[in-house]
């Protein structure tokens, strides 16, 4: 699963950079794993250049090369290609059982026009590897009914947190295939913040603007790294059973100019992120932690973003080759949308998308401060598989 987790992390940062181009200084929040799993379902039926583009954007081709010594995807090499889907099968099984104190649901589904005959082998494979099914709906004549059905499914899978994923204008009689991914996460902190310690204070948006936030506080031992070259601190806030953690990357304010976050985003790579959050870099320190309460709800129509990343064919009527899904011509992914919800409070995190102990020195050490009162990056990781479930930027309350 290491190679798939690495591919997921690389796609995560690529996707974040693409979103950042049009969302400068705005909040960003998404689930790279949910997106990758959903398009893994498309990969099962994609062929030719359509397949190669998806594999490249999601770095699936690197998973293939690492498991099959660089062999190309072809009918003769289907066993090697199946390794990606087998890894997804194992990964989705592992992360869907995070243990007491945490609840995590990842649900993917394809909704296809009822007049298209879908191959049974494809339907069997999506169920086997992704616990998902392709559901036939009547976009052509009852698009509003189909839209309501999709929205109800998403709302149900996310415990009611995501409503009306598809607006009316996003579904029309020409719609053929809709890709939907839903993810829900709720977790309690291993060490909860006390509500009586939460105070109102300011969050500095930029050099000249600030907003009032409810700032939580606790002091204790946390894994933290100080990255001198970027003037940045990285802290791990574990959830109840230590299988899941939130990592926060907090750059210092540079000359009161807030260029620290921009510098961090420009230099961010998978290798650096893995190094900064590794056990060799992070160490248990006594830290005064200040973290704002916040809610984020973000929605992205992915078609344009993924096309700009190099995945053009799958959304193009004239170029899409999804002949492994159906033998009928003209099948494309009409829409790909992700909507994510997240809430962070004293008890833990709610996102849609046994207590561990840290050895404590006998002598009282220096107490460090980690004060997230200005823009930062964060991600939630499944620690046993080293998989990023959610990634975001918090820059505005």
Q: Write the pLDDT tens digit of every residue in 199-257.
A: 999 998 887 889 999 999 999 999 999 998 888 999 999 988 788 899 999 998 755 55
Which SS3 state, helix, strand or coil, does residue 237 take? strand
Q: Is the pLDDT of residue 323 over 80?
A: yes
Q: Are residues 81 and 173 in the same domain?
A: yes
CA distance 81 to 117: 24
Q: Are residues 274 and 146 in the same domain?
A: no
Which band of pLDDT confidence, cut at 50, 70 and 90, is reported for residue 34? confident
Q: Which of 88-102, 125-139, 221-235, 354-368 has the lowest mean pLDDT?
A: 354-368
Query: φ and ψ at 224, to 5 degrees?
Result: -145, 145
CA distance 197 to 201: 12
CA distance 366 to 224: 13
Domain span at residue 50?
2-187+296-342
CA distance 1 to 4: 5
Share of the chain above pLDDT 70, in %: 89
Number of domains within the chain: 2
What is the tens place of the pLDDT at every residue in 37-62? Answer: 888 988 999 999 999 999 999 999 88
Q: Are residues 38 and 100 in the same domain?
A: yes
Share of the chain above pLDDT 90, in %: 41
Q: Which of 2-6, 17-21, 218-222 has the lowest mean pLDDT?
A: 2-6
Q: Is the pLDDT of residue 364 over 50?
A: no
Q: Are residues 175 and 237 in the same domain?
A: no
Beta strands in 114-157 (DSSP E): 134-137
Kindly report the CATH number assigned to the domain that includes residue 386: 2.30.39.10
Q: Are residues 172 and 215 in the same domain?
A: no
Q: Are residues 315 and 358 in the same domain?
A: no
Give whole-number Cα distances, 133 to 118, 120, 325, in Å.
11, 11, 12
- DSSP label at 25? T
Q: Are residues 329 and 279 in the same domain?
A: no
Which band of pLDDT confidence, cut at 50, 70 and 90, is reported for residue 29? very high
Q: Are residues 146 and 13 in the same domain?
A: yes
Cα 303 to the chain's mean position, in Å?
17
Q: Helix H segments across the chain?
A: 2-22, 32-43, 48-57, 60-68, 78-95, 120-130, 143-157, 260-267, 270-276, 302-308
Q: b/e string for 215-224 if b means 16 or more Cβ within 10 A?
A: bbbbeebbbb
Cα 242 to the chain's mean position, in Å?
19
Q: Is the pLDDT of residue 73 over 70?
A: no
Q: Which residue has the higher pLDDT, 64 or 143?
A: 143
Mean pLDDT taken over the chain: 84
Q: Are residues 86 and 130 in the same domain?
A: yes
What is the tens place of the pLDDT at every residue in 269-318? Answer: 999 999 999 888 999 999 999 999 988 888 888 888 999 999 999 988 88
Region of residue 277 (phi > 0: left; psi between -120 and 50: alpha; otherwise: beta): alpha
Q: Which residue has the higher pLDDT, 183 or 226?
A: 226
CA distance 293 to 372: 11
CA distance 251 to 230: 7
Q: Are residues 182 and 284 in the same domain?
A: no
Helix (H) or strand (E) holding 172: none
Q: Are residues 327 and 226 in the same domain?
A: no
What is the tens place of the pLDDT at every residue in 97-119? Answer: 656 667 777 777 888 888 888 88
Taking Cα atoms as reference points, which of 329, 42, 92 lies closest to residue 52? 42
Kindly report the CATH number assigned to the domain that includes residue 325: 3.30.497.10
Which band of pLDDT confidence, cut at 50, 70 and 90, is reported for residue 358? very low
Q: Are residues 263 and 316 in the same domain?
A: no
Which band of pLDDT confidence, cut at 50, 70 and 90, is reported for residue 91? confident
pLDDT of residue 79: 52
Taking Cα atoms as reference points, which of 309, 308, 306, 333 lies closest to residue 319? 333
CA distance 261 to 315: 34
């Amino acid at each position: 699963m290491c190679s798939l987790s690495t591919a997921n992390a690389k796609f995560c940062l690529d996707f974040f950079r693409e979103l950042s181009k049009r969302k400068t200084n705005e909040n960003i929040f998404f689930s790279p794993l949910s997106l990758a799993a959903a398009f893994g379902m498309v990969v099962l039926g994609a062929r030719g250049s359509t397949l190669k583009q998806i594999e490249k954007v999601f770095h699936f081709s690197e998973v293939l090369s690492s498991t099959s010594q660089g062999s190309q995807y072809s009918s003769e090499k289907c066993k090697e290609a199946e390794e990606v889907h087998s890894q997804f099968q194992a990964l989705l099984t592992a992360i869907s059982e995070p243990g007491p104190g945490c609840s995590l649901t990842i649900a993917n589904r394809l909704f296809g026009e009822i007049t298209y005959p879908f191959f049974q082998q494809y339907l069997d494979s999506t169920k086997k590897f992704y616990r998902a099914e392709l559901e036939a709906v009547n976009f052509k004549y009852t698009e509003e009914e189909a839209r309501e059905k999709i929205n109800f499914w998403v709302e149900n899978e996310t415990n009611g947190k995501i409503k009306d994923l598809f607006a009316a204008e996003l579904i029309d009689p020409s719609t053929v295939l809709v890709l939907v991914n839903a993810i829900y996460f709720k977790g309690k902190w291993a060490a909860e913040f006390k509500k009586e310690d939460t105070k109102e204070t300011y969050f500095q948006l930029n050099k000249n603007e600030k907003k009032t936030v409810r700032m939580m506080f606790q002091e204790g031992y946390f894994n933290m790294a100080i990255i001198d070259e970027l003037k940045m601190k990285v802290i791990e806030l574990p959830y109840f059973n230590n299988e899941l953690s939130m990592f926060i990357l907090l750059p210092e304010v540079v000359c009161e100019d807030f260029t620290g976050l921009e510098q961090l985003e420009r230099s961010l790579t998978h290798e650096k992120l893995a190094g900064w959050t590794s056990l060799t870099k992070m160490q248990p320190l006594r830290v005064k932690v200040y973290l704002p309460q916040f809610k984020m709800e973000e929605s992205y129509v992915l078609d344009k973003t993924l096309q700009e990343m190099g995945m053009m064919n799958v959304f193009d009527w004239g170029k899409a080759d999804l002949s492994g899904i159906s033998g009928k011509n003209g099948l494309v992914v009409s829409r790909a949308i992700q909507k994510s919800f997240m809430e962070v409070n004293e008890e833990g995190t709610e996102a849609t998308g046994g207590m561990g102990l840290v050895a404590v020195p006998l002598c009282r050490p220096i107490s460090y401060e980690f004060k997230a009162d200005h823009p930062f990056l964060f991600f939630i990781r499944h620690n046993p598989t080293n998989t990023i479930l959610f990634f975001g930027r918090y820059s505005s309350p």
